[in-house]
Structure 1
Amino acid sequence: MTALIRNPILPGFNPDPSICRVGEDYYIATSTFEWYPGVQIHHSRDLVNWRLVRRPLERASQLDMRGNPDSCGVWAPCLSYDDGLFFLVYTDVKRFDGNFKDAHNYIVTAEAIEAVWSDPVYVNSSGFDPSLFHDDDGRKWFLNMQWNHRSESFGGSPKHPAFDGILLQQWDERKRRLTGPVKNIFAGSPLGLVEGPHLFKRNGWYYLTTAEGGTGYDHAVTMARSRTIDGPYEMHPDTYLITSKDHPDAPLQRAGHGQYVETPDGQAYHTHLCGRPLPPQRRCTLGRETALQKCVWRDDGWLYLENGGPVPEITVAAPGAARALSSPRVVETDFDETALPSEFQWLRTPLPERIFSLERRAGHLRLFGRESIGSWFEQALVARRQEHHSFRAETSVEFAPGTYQQVAGLAHYYNRHKFHALSLTWHETLGRALTILSCPGDFPHGRLQFPIGSGIAVPTGPIELAMEVRDNDLQFFWRADGEMEWQAIGPVLDAGVVSDEGGRGEHGSFTGAFAGMFAFDTSGGGLPADFGRFRYVSLSEGGARL
């Protein structure tokens, strides 16, 4: 029986997949934007089952995103391998709104994926989405899109003139710098917004794939080829290798931005990002995910999807025998280790000891209240990706606030404009209280709403918090330590706003939804909150309410 790859292979926020094969091992690197550590690398040996094995940008010398706006940070990494060394190329984007991007490109290396990666080598800042191509003559070539600030393009409203073609320049690995002339080799198709370049070589042709159409519903993988690396490049007969832009009913939407890979026996596959929108507003609450499509080479020397058209499929044939391993429906975390479990990340700062500790109190994650839940600098929020359209998350918190400026709790979080948070705090008449802080997409102000006003008084001791997200709906729950019954608190909230399309809409942001624990103390006192557990439960496969 033919093994099947089921898409998305990396569910939840995992965009811009760069794939690399070394022997029998496949690796995919995806963007992490403002989430720390930077870049997710997953591993597989069969293209069916994938496991997170590394986030290589893990220290201040490699990445410091304090102050980076929402949806900035690490964009579109490229992972490659040559002569015993892995290369990771990435951008750190410092600006989103306005005409400028301030996108700085770097290279880090390692002899093994799970090793400690080098300090970065700065390359250039002419645009984002860099990649590194290792030619068969030993030369290395650096590519990135060129950003033109002299246009009407700005954050949330991309315009084609700002995406000023794909630049190519030789990389001198010995001198660790670009060398020789820089050439604009590809202007893209009429669809526009050309970015995400990747080169590979086959039968004497240089093949270039790019992302076009923006990362919304017009997204596409465009393909071109040339006999010489610097062009001119001729367009694919169908222009687009992968796209859903003219097929609004396809289950995988927003298909684009990926990379080609071959199996050891020459079978062809191509990664791409995608989104799975929920009705009625077509909001992708899981963000941009990673999918993989089976391809074929035809006699004309061009690559096509095996299904014959450009529209990606949910299931495709795997290269060999494989059995899909089921993901656990329930993931329990008791914080008994001294390292943060791999599914969790935090925001921006390379100094995690300032915002959390697993050693200050055994069996607990201690968050130190720092800046607000909307901060771009030092925010104590530790969270994991939402990987299912319907899920439940639970935690237990011990927290003794003495002012309303001290808050800790459980959040469904996208960015400073899009979140819902069940919050334990202090109130002048209620004493210790539970309330809800909500920011349902209010851009650019980020104004809070308080769905239950001042909230309800709660007893001393640990408090358990929970939320259930069912597609577009979110309900919070709570109970005091030792009680059996969960109590609903507040109205059903719009979970769909915690999505790429929520708030300012398509292209306004493009990361993903997280569920996690937070604490802030805007008094400056750094009051800690201790979280004793975190539980994530998939409800998307017909799971009953808990």
Structure 2
Amino acid sequence: MNTFKNPIISGFYPDPSICRVEEDYYLVTSTFEYFPGVPIFHSRDLVNWKQIGHVLDRPSQLELSGTEPSAGIWAPTIRYHEGTFYMITTFVVARRGKRRNFYVTAKDPAGPWSDPVWLEGAPGIDPSLFFDDDGKVYYTGNRVPPTGQTHHKHEEIWLQELDLDAGKLVGDRLSIWDGALKNAHAQEAPHLYKKNGYYYLIIAEGGTGYTHAVTVARSKSVTGPYESSKRNPILTHRHLGKQSKIVNVGHADIIETQNGDWWLVCLASRPYGGHYRNLGRETFLAPMTWEDDWPVMCPDTGKIEFEMESPDLPEHKWPSLPTFDSFESKELDLRWNFLRTPDEASYSLTDRPGFLRLNLRPESTVEYNTPSFVGRRQQHLDFTATTVLEFSPAKQNETAGLLLIQNHDYQFRFEVALNEREQVIQLVRREGGNEKVVASSPFKGNVIYLKVEADGQDYYFYYGEKPDQWSVLVEKEDGRILSTDKAGGFTGVYLGPFATSAGTTSDNYADFDWFHYQGTE
């Protein structure tokens, strides 16, 4: 028996949505306040995935200036119809503020994708598109019931026809499902499918944390009424307890292979060091089948597992991604992201070829702005990240180094700075908005090697004048502050080079020659 390992896409890649075009599969995930938005992946076997681009990769599509942590882009859905790819999603202006829904299109999933088509009169979040076989297109989303909420986070699923030529919702807006269970909350992520004369509505319920779940209803008519499955929830791990090694399973999208088999992708997390989830919500794969015209997810076991039987598809591996980035290219690797939409003045790969140059600007990593920071996801429980930095601070507020960030109030800054007139290498721990210099050591040179190692929740920080000649700055620093379970929000840990002049103007800069990330688990 051939098996595969979950998660299929590790690290902060939540809310997966999938579509198939003949023998090719495409998948997208949420990105919240990070830019570019919505990574898109390609696979031919459902197990091995290669990132081929970002759907929202230019400011005309995605302007995130001032976006608060865990707002931004929520829950994209990808669909394909008659030669065109569609990605529809929610732009959350503020987590407790306005939501705006839009879609973009492309002929090539690698891009370019169109500018957004903003939909008026589309309340709620987590939109999805359904192309019926009569040529009509339907939008589904969630909203507060027109009659009001009967309990906390009570939502309902609604449907309306979409005129793609006009880019507008048309006809009546219909309430089609109020959830699977009495007093269920946070009914979200609706996806419609059609099979054997039934329309199936699969949604997420229970919030995106520990009580997350997948539920289903069906109808002979797209407009309802929808009958809730007596087996609901059809997938959840909440009954396994917080000691489970895979938690908060939910937000599923399903796909039929070219061989007629059915699979689901969903989000889940791997807690470690207690119920802490530094890696955020990741993308998992599992089998499903149909029984009595109802979907059965993870048949026999009823749960997502780390090792499961592989799909009946020819294995298609991609070349291994390099762990070392020498910054020789004129464009950043697809794994790099920015906090919010970047200013072109914040970084350069051409001012000094072969180096990533970060210009020191007033913006810092502790505000809702766009700092000079280029980051990638932490994708492993255990990892090593190393870089070499050329930098000489000229003022007290000028710093540069490595940042590990959950949000503006929870982060580690491993940085070169000035303490009075002395140049130092220091580790700053920021927890709940309060900062503490954990350790500091004098350092006189302008070239410094930096290394961060994680052994589970123990983070180690090293520095040196030469590679492989390391001095310890801090050992076994508790990394739990980087978990959403302490910091709140919906994202995972990012790490990478940063530089700032923290509130003042500066013409200084920091040059990074290379960056190496190696995960071991």
User: Which bin holds the TM-score, normalised by the shorter protein?
Assistant: over 0.9
Residue in structure 2 matched with residue 35 of structure 1 by the alignment: 34
Structure 1 position 133 matched with structure 2 position 151: no
Q: Which whole-Å CA distance do the structure 1 matches of 2:321 and 2:64 have between them?
A: 33
Residue in structure 1 matched with residue 293 of structure 2 by the alignment: 301
Match for residue 331 of structure 1 among 323, 329, 334:
323
Structure 1 stretch 252-261 or stretch 371-380: which is displaced more? 371-380
Q: Which whole-Å CA distance do the structure 2 matches of 1:150 and 1:70 have between them?
A: 31
Contact 1:3/1:322 (CA < 8 Å) preserved in 2? no
Contact 1:271/1:290 (CA < 8 Å) preserved in 2? yes
Residue in structure 2 matched with residue 537 of structure 1 by the alignment: 518
**What is the correspondence of 1:113-132 to structure 2 with a 5 Å cutoff?**
113-124=109-120, 125-132=122-129
What secondary structure is seen at the aligned counterpart in 2 of 1:450? strand
Structure 1 position 382 matched with structure 2 position 382: no
Structure 1 stretch 482-491 or stretch 100-109: which is displaced more? 482-491
Residue in structure 2 matched with residue 359 of structure 1 by the alignment: 350
Residue in structure 1 matched with residue 509 of structure 2 by the alignment: 528
**What is the correspondence of 1:118-197 to structure 2 with a 5 Å cutoff?**
118-124=114-120, 125-147=122-144, 161-189=152-180, 190=182, 191-197=184-190
Match for residue 518 of structure 1 among 485, 489, 498:
498
Superposed CA deviations along residues 89-116 of structure 1, whole A, max 9, x for unmatched, are: 01111112xxx33111111000010121
Residue in structure 2 matched with residue 225 of structure 1 by the alignment: 218
Match for residue 262 of structure 1 among 249, 256, 274:
256
Q: Which whole-Å CA distance do the structure 1 matches of 2:223 and 2:472 have between them?
A: 62
Q: Which whole-Å CA distance do the structure 1 matches of 2:112 and 2:178 have between them?
A: 37
> What is the deviation of 1:510?
1.1
Change (3 A) 1:269 1:179: same
Structure 1 position 448 matched with structure 2 position 448: no
Residue in structure 1 matched with residue 208 of structure 2 by the alignment: 215
**What is the correspondence of 1:46-65 to structure 2 with a 5 Å cutoff?**
46-65=45-64
> What is the deviation of 1:70?
0.3
Contact 1:151/1:162 (CA < 8 Å) preserved in 2? no
Change (3 A) 1:379 1:147: farther
Q: Which whole-Å CA distance do the structure 2 matches of 1:273 and 1:11 have between them?
A: 10
Q: Which whole-Å CA distance do the structure 1 matches of 2:124 and 2:188 have between them?
A: 9
> What is the deviation of 1:352?
4.3
Contact 1:395/1:534 (CA < 8 Å) preserved in 2? yes
Q: Which whole-Å CA distance do the structure 2 matches of 1:198 and 1:46 have between them?
A: 22
What secondary structure is seen at the aligned counterpart in 2 of 1:479? strand
Residue in structure 2 matched with residue 156 of structure 1 by the alignment: none
Superposed CA deviations along residues 381-424 of structure 1, whole A, max 9, x for unmatched, are: 11111111010101111112111211110121111122111111
> What is the deviation of 1:492?
2.6
User: Which consecutive unaligned segments of at least 5 residues does structure 2 have?
Assistant: none
Change (3 A) 1:483 1:514: closer
Q: Which whole-Å CA distance do the structure 2 matches of 1:479 and 1:372 have between them?
A: 25
**What is the correspondence of 1:382-531 to structure 2 with a 5 Å cutoff?**
382-430=374-422, 432-440=423-431, 442=432, 446-452=433-439, 455-480=440-465, 482=466, 484-503=468-487, 508-522=488-502, 523-531=504-512
Residue in structure 1 matched with residue 247 of structure 2 by the alignment: 253
> What is the deviation of 1:318?
2.5
Structure 1: which amino acid aligns with 2:518? V
Structure 1 stretch 517-526 or stretch 25-34: which is displaced more? 517-526
Contact 1:424/1:433 (CA < 8 Å) preserved in 2? yes
Taking structure 2 as the reference length, what is the TM-score of the superposition? 0.95
**What is the correspondence of 1:104-115 to structure 2 with a 5 Å cutoff?**
104-115=100-111
Q: Which whole-Å CA distance do the structure 1 matches of 2:354 and 2:146 have between them?
A: 50
> What is the deviation of 1:324?
7.5
Q: Which whole-Å CA distance do the structure 2 matches of 1:330 and 1:42 have between them?
A: 17
Q: Which whole-Å CA distance do the structure 2 matches of 1:35 and 1:17 have between them?
A: 16
Superposed CA deviations along residues 105-129 of structure 1, whole A, max 9, x for unmatched, are: 1110000101211010001451111
Structure 2: which amino acid aligns with 1:395? T
Structure 2: which amino acid aligns with 1:368? N
Contact 1:151/1:161 (CA < 8 Å) preserved in 2? no
What secondary structure is seen at the aligned counterpart in 2 of 1:449? strand
Residue in structure 1 matched with residue 335 of structure 2 by the alignment: 343
Superposed CA deviations along residues 301-332 of structure 1, whole A, max 9, x for unmatched, are: 11102433532222222232544759859701
Contact 1:451/1:491 (CA < 8 Å) preserved in 2? no
Give aligned pairs, total: 515
Q: Which whole-Å CA distance do the structure 1 matches of 2:144 and 2:382 have between them?
A: 38
Q: Which whole-Å CA distance do the structure 2 matches of 1:489 and 1:320 have between them?
A: 50
Contact 2:441/2:473 (CA < 8 Å) preserved in 1? no
> What is the deviation of 1:162?
3.7
Structure 2: which amino acid aligns with 1:336? E
Contact 2:42/2:50 (CA < 8 Å) preserved in 1? yes
Superposed CA deviations along residues 222-270 of structure 1, whole A, max 9, x for unmatched, are: 1111111121111122111211010124432110002010001210111
Q: Which whole-Å CA distance do the structure 2 matches of 1:4 and 1:325 have between them?
A: 14
Q: Which whole-Å CA distance do the structure 2 matches of 1:105 and 1:10 have between them?
A: 26
Q: Which whole-Å CA distance do the structure 2 matches of 1:330 and 1:151 have between them?
A: 52
Q: Which whole-Å CA distance do the structure 2 matches of 1:160 and 1:521 have between them?
A: 47
Q: Which whole-Å CA distance do the structure 2 matches of 1:25 and 1:323 have between them?
A: 12
> What is the deviation of 1:209?
0.6
Q: Which whole-Å CA distance do the structure 2 matches of 1:31 and 1:160 have between them?
A: 27
Contact 1:247/1:311 (CA < 8 Å) preserved in 2? no
Superposed CA deviations along residues 500-520 of structure 1, whole A, max 9, x for unmatched, are: 2123xxxx3111111211111
Structure 2: which amino acid aligns with 1:489? L
